[in-house]
Amino acid sequence: MLFRKCLAVLLFGGVVGSASAENWPAWRGPAGNGISTEQNVPTEWGPDKHVAWKLALPGPAGATPVVWGERIFLTSVNEAGELLLMCVNTAGKPQWQQVVAKGNQNSRGDEGNSASPSPVTDGQHVWTFMGDGTLACYTVTGEQVWKLNLQDRYGKFQIQFGMSSTPVLEQGKLYLQLIHGEGNPQTREAVVVALDGKTGAEVWKVDRPSDAEAENEHSYASPVLYRDDKTTLLLTHGADFIIAHDLQDGHEVWRCGGLNRRDDTVLPYDRTLRFVASPATAPGLIIAPSAKQHPLLAIRAGGSGDITSSAKHRLWDWKRTPDVPSPLILDGLVYLCMENGNLTVLEADSGKEVYSEATHRQRHRASPVYADGKLYLTARDGRITVVQAGREFKVLAVNELGEDQSASPAISGGTLYLRTFGHLWAIRNGK
């Protein structure tokens, strides 16, 4: 199939090569799919095993660290409520720290805060977006280039648990989905914007209309890019729809609903179904999660207009979504780390279940990552279950550091970087 053939190109061709497999420049890695091509990545570790170093952090956050070369960038909060962007080198030594904004807000107890979006870097600059609306650009050596507040530009965020969407960086532009609202679909507060990475100037802005109502107007997902050998599209996810946008001017190419159906008598329309997990993509295929007990959709890329009822583009549905962790597509298989710790594996072509097995019975907030034949599944209590990739379920290791964690792992230079609530850990074989 197209998406199987092109996946090898995506992994080992220009997308990864442009940033180097050594780097992890965004929350879902070098190709935006949670996949690393690194080898000799640790399978087992503990507080005193394979720990190259750990660095105490000023406060918790759920944002994934990003890595370029010898620099690691991550966000945090401190006791004064300041929102911080930090730079640490790969030896674990702090390099610089900037106060990006003030006035952190926690949400749902310890579930999140205003430092939840992950930074993104191109090796020359690093951009950080905070839940209070502050978006800023710094050089990798810590000098501020520009700073602005998107609430001042696009209106006050009306979102129950805070804006947590991470920007996408592509060819010098930042793409953001600001999907929120007061519950009335007629007012259409949601927008999608593209900004010049060098200046913060608006390149384009488009409204994102939807008939979603109540809390469904809120989205905690992040936009992703869809790529194949013919096109690159921006996918935004929330308010009952996944929508594909043209990168040049933002216009809507297609949209697909069916994630929260109004005509379903078994799963009637849920007014609290806000999306958290982001879509997963491979050439020819898009996996669109929903939330709670609602379904997951497999979409064939292409088409135009509303493809919700298109038999050509709706490949298959799956009965259960991961809810919070984003899916992962690899070698013709779709991996779903469910919030309760179940790992479900489906055939990408058909949606047929390969297996569904329980791992650690704890909340899973982080998204799974892949490296070196292994899947890393991160539970909220910090336990990471390492599972063999492929059609056979096999647990290779169960690892604990004794600290809570909601950030997804980052992988660079054969090292696992784990952002717990208390520390940044570097896990490396031979240490």
Residue-averaged pLDDT of the chain:
94
pLDDT of residue 431: 67
Mean per-residue pLDDT, 217-223:
98
pLDDT of residue 387: 98
With cut-offs at 50, 70 and 90, classify the pLDDT of residue 5.
very low
The per-residue pLDDT for range 25-60, each reduced to its tens digit, is: 999 999 999 999 999 999 999 999 999 999 999 999
CB 273 within 8 A of CB 261: no
Strands of the sheet with 191-196, listed across from one edge: 168-170, 173-178, 191-196, 202-207
With cut-offs at 50, 70 and 90, classify the pLDDT of residue 12.
very low
Mean per-residue pLDDT, 189-207:
98
Whether 11 has a pLDDT exceeding 80, the answer reads no
**List of residues 6+ apart from 346 with CB closer than 8 A:** 318, 333, 334, 336, 352, 353, 354
The per-residue pLDDT for range 299-334, each reduced to its tens digit, is: 998 899 999 999 999 999 999 999 999 999 999 999
pLDDT of residue 407: 97
Element (DSSP H or E) covering residue 14:
helix 14-19
With cut-offs at 50, 70 and 90, classify the pLDDT of residue 22.
confident
Q: 3-state DSSP call for residue 179? A: coil
**Which amino acid would we find at residue 10?**
L
Whether 255 has a pLDDT exceeding 70, the answer reads yes
**List of residues 6+ apart from 186 with CB closer than 8 A:** none
Mean per-residue pLDDT, 56-75:
97
CA distance 309 to 332: 25
* Domain 2-428, CATH: 2.140.10.10
CA distance 79 to 341: 32
Mean per-residue pLDDT, 326-347:
97
Write the DSSP assignment of 115-143 as a string of letters.
T-SPPEE-SSEEEEE-TTSEEEEEETTS-
Residue 253 token pair = 């190419």
Residue 237 token pair = 């996810």
Element (DSSP H or E) covering residue 101:
strand 94-102
With cut-offs at 50, 70 and 90, classify the pLDDT of residue 218.
very high
Whether 9 has a pLDDT exceeding 70, the answer reads no
Residue 418 token pair = 């784990």
The per-residue pLDDT for range 93-152, each reduced to its tens digit, is: 999 999 999 999 998 777 889 999 999 999 999 999 999 999 999 999 999 999 999 999
Least confident of 3-17, 58-72, 176-190, 397-411: 3-17
